[in-house]
Chain A
Amino acid sequence: MTQVRLIVAVTAAAITAAALLLGGVVRNSPTVDSAQPAAAASPASSLALGDTAALVRRLQFQLRGKPSAQAYAALGLAYEQLARETGDPGYYSKADGVLRRSLALTPRNAVAVGALGSLALSRHRFRDALWLGRKARELTPQEVRNYGVVGDALVELGRYREAFATFDTMAREKPGLSAYSRISYARELLGDIPGSIRAMELAVDTATGRPESMAWTHVQLGKLYWATGRLAPARREFTTALSVFPGYVYGLDALAQVEAARGHLRHAIGLEMQAVNEVPLPQFVSLLGDLYRLNGQPGLAAKQYGLIGVIRRLLAANGVKTDLETALFQVDHGIRLRQTLVLARLAQRERPSIDGDDVLAWALARNGRCDEALRYSRLGLRLETRDALKYFHRGMIERCLGHEAAARVWFGRALALNPHFSVLWAPVARRALQ
């Protein structure tokens, strides 16, 4: 009888493992229809460039008549682009749905898998994105897009060397908007701002004809200028972005920061409110609150801060508990610091990038755990990124540890890099240096 029990116990445990491992992975269906001429990708979708909505309508119409894995995958990609352009996250859910349908029709469908990878990135599921990107790369090693998915995931997981190698491959195989913008980001992370600007200028050139791409690249370029305190060129880039894509929320938010730095507080508030009314991302709402506070309107500020709480509750209701951005907001505004520290730890574990390290360092510092904070701050600056906010956090940590001289050095560095690096904290740094 012992044998039977043993068999049962072992088999029961093995069944789950087997089902998980073997179910679905072994299937070997053909990916490419050898009898078909060129895939739909090139000619059909290059019609009416810059008009994603029209492409979406066309694919929807096509699919209602005849479902096909290729068309579903293409629609998934189009939905993802539409989500970028409209800011409506409902399109992510739709993308998810059609991509699953595509996979149901053709399981080893590289386009769909790759598209799910970029979708995972948008949802901040970086480990999933890495897995999916790698899988897609296995299926079609020549598709350069998947290198982008893999590389982006690696960056957010703090694996920079691998990420940069991936970006190099991308730029070597297919120089263009996707590759140049990533090379620019990599250079920025490594503290090479001039190099970052050069690469983003290349990206700006390649974005011709696509309003969202043009707006995005101009905003990124502007942010590089902004990060190094060059207000006028930053403003120029943000205004260009808004002229190409009126109402582009990232442009509005970025321009608001510039206007605040120039002392045009009311104008800044107007711009930021526009952004919030269009897409209330936590960082927009937070900045709007800070601007109200600066403008001596604490009641309105409190309302915005309350909105962040609402957003956090909604994220939690959607099963998202480890949001780095809301953690940072709570740390910055001294909200339930002990709980926020727990949140920050979770967020950092989820996203062990230098940003995750830095936010955790800041959370630790605000909780008085400055030794541990120092460790994470060092991690956050391990790439020698030129980031005024990270310098400032380090300054506060040094001060907390009693290293006054070192603190002043760091505050000085932050202000030298970008005197307006934060509506809340630049004044604090300035006061510390007086």
Chain B
Amino acid sequence: MTSFQTRRTALYAGLALVAAFTALLALRSASAPEAARAASHREAPLIALDPTADISDFFFFRSYEPGKADKVDLIMNVIPGEEPSSGPNYWNFDPSVTYALNVDNDRDGVANDVRFEFHFQNEIRGIVRDAKLPLSYVGGITGVPPITDFDSVGFGLRQHYTVTMFHGKEHKGQVLASGLVAAPSNVGPRTMPNYDSLAAQGIYDLGNGMKVFAGQRDDPFYIDLGATFDSLNFRRTPPILSTVEDSNDNINPYGVDQLSGFNVHSIALEVPASLLTSDGQGADATAQPKLGAYAETERPKVTVASEKDPAKDREHGKDVQVQRLANPLVNEAIIGTIDKDLWNRLDPENESRFLDYYETPRLALALQLATGVPAAVSNRDDLVNLLLKYAPTDQRLSELLRLDVSVPPTPLASQRRMTALATPADPAGWPNGRRPKDDVTDIAVRVVGGINYIAARASDGVNTNDVALPSQFPFIASPHDGRNRVHGN
């Protein structure tokens, strides 16, 4: 063969091989309908959501229960979006999670001055254990009376918890109470005919002016969730309230509260202000009334190599922080998607690495794009001062929910959802601490949007929760029951 022919053959061969190779490759990986595949490899879940460690809200305020103005309340809500009818196990705290509340009382931006930890344990008892029933709660049927107290025989899955308090850097805290029982999920009127009185047994007086409650509650957050996160697709154009609408805190002018009908799990703690302040003085007397706080969830860190001492696997000394929450909507609306997981792992005092998100809030730009109204999109030192500092002169940037305990509490009936932006202003709400009533969505939209949005009274159109708020501890309403629950939309 001539050299030309050799080369040509080579060309043919090359092309043929390429085509054959790609044909085989394609045949191997061609997508075809599935047949049953054996799952001999583990196929462990790859869940991104972690509801039991998911903090939905953190409230921090001076008690507005009549006669309790010297108390401060800290409430963390977890497991958002609880569908009330989720039998047979319903919802519970996670025994592997450390639920914690951290307080900063010396204005250094590091919330390591006072800390409260909550640990839960499961117990299967009563008729559920004895008869090996596939349920967590049973009652109101022949042979099993309804569940009316925490020792009822049908109260199958019972959760105990311990409250521990830490001061400063101490490793071993002081156990404030143990063996307390968490109020169970509201199953329905047959199993739990008088849920309110059952849950009320979960309000514990620890003495020394301290109260604690843990259990299921109605989710007090109200927002037109779908509209807001559908790229600010509010249901009115432009999304603004009239003066009359804005001053009516009991209506939903054009939004739909898409969290209506859902429950959460709450951990509520009420303590005398003097327990939190650095000088041990009461709310009106203390020289340093500005406190900062945040809620967090932690889990034990484990490695493939086990600890030599088995007990250490669950030891909370080397827990990993899974989530934190101080100011509302920071993680959802200020921190970029790409940094959310990282943000959750860091402590609040490391916020300077996220400074750009505050100085140039994406939400402001989004509002501007969505509504066409100019927003304050850059150089937002005001937001930095509001969310990350006690005073503009502070050096350290720390994302804490700050409460000035010297500001007197506003009674529930007089509370304004727009707090400082209301007319007349209500100074006892967010961003001065946070109460369940505060409309953080509207406040955030206006404050982040800037003066145009404040003037125009921008809003998501939802002004109120679907359920009325109580005026006493634990300040959040009873949960919807599983049998009769209704979602507003």
Contacts and interface: CB of A to CB of B under 8 A. Distances in A.
Interface of A: 1-2, 5-6, 8-9, 12-13, 16, 31-32, 34-51, 77, 84, 89-90, 92-93, 96, 118, 121-125, 128, 140, 142-145, 148-149, 152, 155-156, 164, 167-168, 171-183, 185-187, 190, 192, 194-195, 198-199, 202, 205-206, 208-214, 216, 220, 239, 242-244, 279-283, 311, 314-315, 317-320, 323-326, 351, 353, 355
A44 B79 CA distance: 14
Interface stretch (B58-66, B277-285, B329-337): B329-337
Contacts of B8: 5
Interface string B74-100: 000001111100101101111111000
Contact of B52 (A206, A244, A317): A206
Contact of A148 (B10, B36, B44): B44
Interface string B318-342: 0010100000000111001111111
Contacts of B86: 49-50, 209
6 contacts: A46-B49, A48-B83, A49-B86, A50-B83, A90-B33, A179-B302
User: Which of A37, A43, A206: most chain B CB closer than 10 A?
Assistant: A37
Given A45-B49, A209-B86, A319 B32 contact: yes
User: Which of B14, B88, B299, B339: most chain A CB closer than 10 A?
Assistant: B299
Interface in B15-74: 15, 18, 22, 27-54
B301 interface: yes
Nearest to A324: B40
B333 A171 contact: no
User: Which of A6, A16, A186: most chain B CB closer than 10 A?
Assistant: A16
Interface of B: 3-4, 7-8, 10-11, 14-15, 18, 22, 27-54, 79-83, 86, 88-89, 91-97, 122, 132, 134-135, 225-226, 228-229, 231-232, 258-259, 262, 299-304, 306, 310, 313-314, 320, 322, 331-333, 336-342, 345, 362-363, 365-366, 369
Ranked 7 nearest A-B pairs via Cβ: A243-B134, A89-B34, A195-B306, A325-B38, A175-B299, A205-B96, A181-B44
A199 B79 CA distance: 22
Contacts of A216: 44-45
Given A209-B52, A324-B40, 8 more contacts: A9-B11, A16-B22, A89-B36, A176-B50, A183-B304, A194-B310, A317-B35, A319-B28
Contacts of A206: 50, 52-53, 94, 96-97, 299
A274 to B, nearest CB: 16
Given A37-B363, A176-B47, A42 B91 contact: no
A317 B30 CA distance: 12
B342 A47 contact: no
Contact of B11 (A12, A148, A323, A355): A12
Contacts, number: 287
Nearest to B377: A35
Contact of B14 (A5, A12, A186, A212): A12
Contact of B33 (A93, A128, A180): A93
A172 B363 contact: no
Contact of B45 (A90, A195, A213, A320): A213
A183 B40 contact: no
Nearest to B93: A208
A281 B36 contact: yes
B362 A178 contact: no
A156 B11 contact: no
B320 to A, nearest CB: 5
B232 A16 contact: no
B366 A36 contact: yes
B42 to A, nearest CB: 5
User: Which of B34, B96, B134, B304: most chain A CB closer than 10 A?
Assistant: B304
A45 B54 CA distance: 13
Given A46-B81, A90-B34, A208-B91, A148 B46 contact: yes
Contacts of B38: 281-283, 323-326
B183 to A, nearest CB: 16
Nearest to A244: B89
Nearest to A124: B37
Contacts of A180: 96, 302
B362 A199 contact: no
A168 B44 contact: no
A183 B300 CA distance: 12
Contact of A44 (B95, B134, B229, B302): B229
A126 to B, nearest CB: 8
A279 B304 contact: no
A207 to B, nearest CB: 8
A349 to B, nearest CB: 14
Contact of B53 (A176, A279, A315): A176
A50 to B, nearest CB: 6
A35 B362 contact: yes
